[in-house]
Amino acid sequence: MIADIKLLPEAEKLLAKWSAFNDEKPTAYHQPTDVSDWGQLISLWKTSLEKLGRIDIVCNGAGIYEPPSSNFWNPPGISRLAEDKADASPGGYKTFDVNTTAPIRLAQIAMDYWMNEKVEGNLLWVASLGGYVHSFHTPLYFASKAAIVSFVKSLARLRTDFGIRNAAICPGTVDVSHSPPDFDTSRTYLCRTDILTLLHLTQTPIFDREDCRDRVQPGDLMLTPDECASVMQDILTDPRYGDGNIVEAMAINTEAGRGVGIREVIFNGLYPTSSGYGENNHIAEAEEKFVQRVLDKGMRE
């Protein structure tokens, strides 16, 4: 199941190739979805269960690159470009609604289902290098991806305690040239393990927007969509991953020529080096009790 507001031509071709009308398996579906609308996320989940019968994998890939309509440098109520409402109640930035809140909400729906149905699910988040590097230009986008990285690390023990894999890919720039410039969102995938081979990334050209075109030029070093998809499939299946891993993937130059650099980003250097967290207090002890409660009762207390 591909969830997006609209599809790129490449995704439409994939859908046509694996449509339900050709009596072939696996089968691909598309559910038009604005992920910032929680009601549409519920509909997406229900429809996916109806079509697939079971959901094993969620690829949480929704994202927008801080467009002028939801941009820190275009204040709501002041900038003519801003579409976020200055007097909204509750207030919010669309960039955060799509990049952060929606993936977390879909993960919550998925984990409740997996725990209740005793399914060993597989949760893959599409974060970004922006989750741990920084940009004055687009601080909302980078902060929204940093929140996802922190969330994935917070759920690092899911596989150990619940049998649910959980990891994130942090891609560098992906070359999605020759695509319509009005596409600006990545997409979310829900599937069963027996149709995992359908994974073919059709990312969207965030740098094709007029306000972004000076940031990436022809000839710049970039991943191809298929290279990014290949790393994603490795993260979904390789036993090394699934424990809150943050996996960086970017195009690099080597002595042998162009290649793909893959590394796990380690955050231990950010942790306190002196006693404090979890040592001279009861934080760790309370967390163990909470994990046991979730093991006993799930998320439906």
The number of distinct structural domains making up the chain is 2
In angstroms, the CA 107 to CA 95 distance is: 18
In the prediction, which pLDDT does 202 show? Answer: 40
Distances (CA, A) of 163 to 168, 213, 235, 286: 17, 43, 16, 21
In the prediction, which pLDDT does 23 show? Answer: 61
In the prediction, which pLDDT does 243 show? Answer: 98
Note whether 300 and 251 are same-domain residues.
no
In the prediction, which pLDDT does 201 show? Answer: 41
Place of tokens 């995938």: 189
Note whether 299 and 210 are same-domain residues.
no
Predicted model pTM:
0.88
Domain that holds residue 265: 2-270
Note whether 13 and 136 are same-domain residues.
yes
Note whether 254 and 135 are same-domain residues.
yes
Is pLDDT at 203 greater than 60 in this prediction? no
Note whether 141 and 278 are same-domain residues.
no
Note whether 258 and 297 are same-domain residues.
no
In the prediction, which pLDDT does 268 show? Answer: 84
Is pLDDT at 63 greater than 50 in this prediction? yes
Note whether 25 and 157 are same-domain residues.
yes
Give percent of the chain with pLDDT exceeding 90: 62
In the prediction, which pLDDT does 184 show? Answer: 41
Note whether 94 and 165 are same-domain residues.
yes
Note whether 103 and 184 are same-domain residues.
yes
- Which amino acid does the sequence have at 139? P
Note whether 289 and 213 are same-domain residues.
no
- CATH number of 182's domain: 3.40.50.720
Note whether 195 and 286 are same-domain residues.
no
Note whether 76 and 121 are same-domain residues.
yes
Q: Evaluate whether 189 touches 1 at the Cβ level (below 8 Å).
A: yes
**pLDDT tens-digit readout, 73-92:** 999 999 999 999 999 999 99
Q: Which range in 1-5, 7-11, 136-140, 278-282 is most confidently predicted, on average pLDDT?
A: 136-140
